[in-house]
Homo-oligomer: A and B are copies of this chain.
């Protein structure tokens, strides 16, 4: 099974409340580019983020707005900001650190939501059935080339609103020499696991999940 690659640059999802704080009353996101997952887009809007030891400017906002604000960075970014960021699935932000987010009309002290996104593959229902994959299952993916490697523990995420795409961050892409549009191969279907984010007998992820379409494959 070949799966297309989408490299996720750092980005932020905003709640409506936080969008208003940062961009002013009545603010809306303006789509700049569609992302691989249906309905998701990179917005024209950007914010700056300030950590304990460093600042990163022009972090792309993704739309639409989410129930909770979430900043997804690489480990390289975390070092630059001077903070720890745990590897998490999108939406699982309990106990994660916050930082200062700066917009053109205001700033906010985010209390939590800074994560390094756990690498994952999006599957539509049809794609999941075709490949015999279930939501929450872990896959091993092999890349080719001079920096070829095998990513283990890649989470399968299945939803009617998804489309086949392997999402990894810029550290992972650089380490493997991968670019958006490359392909990787599934070499093994790992055992399903019993962690809190395994959805039991469900083959679908509910549409209201904050995880839906979490990543841009652009913006570097």
Q: Is the CB of A87 within 8 A of B176?
A: no
A153 at the interface (CB under 8 A from B): yes
Secondary structure type dominating chain A contacts: mixed
**Alpha-carbon gap, A199 to B176, bound state (A):** 26
B153 and A76 within 8 A (CB): no
Partner of A174, one of B149, B152, B175: B175
CB distance from A193 to the nearest CB of B (A): 11
Q: Which residues of B contact A118 (CB under 8 A)?
A: 146
Contact mask for chain A residues 169-191; partner B; CB cutoff 8 A; 1 contact, 0 none: 11110111100000000000000
- A118 → chain B, closest Cβ, in Å? 7
A146 to B155: give the CA distance in the assembly, Å: 11
Give the shortest distance, in Å, between A216 (CB) and chain B (any CB).
16
What's the number of copies of this chain in the assembled complex?
Answer: 2
Verify if A79 is at the interface (C-beta below 8 Å from B): yes
Given contacts A118-B146, A150-B150, A153-B148, A87 and B177 within 8 Å (CB-CB): yes
A interface residues, tally (CB under 8 Å): 24
Extra pairs beyond A119-B147, A149-B151, A150-B150 (17, CB < 8 Å)? A75-B174, A76-B76, A76-B170, A76-B171, A87-B177, A118-B146, A146-B153, A147-B153, A148-B153, A149-B149, A149-B150, A150-B152, A171-B171, A171-B174, A171-B175, A175-B175, A175-B176
- A86: min CB distance to chain B, Å: 9
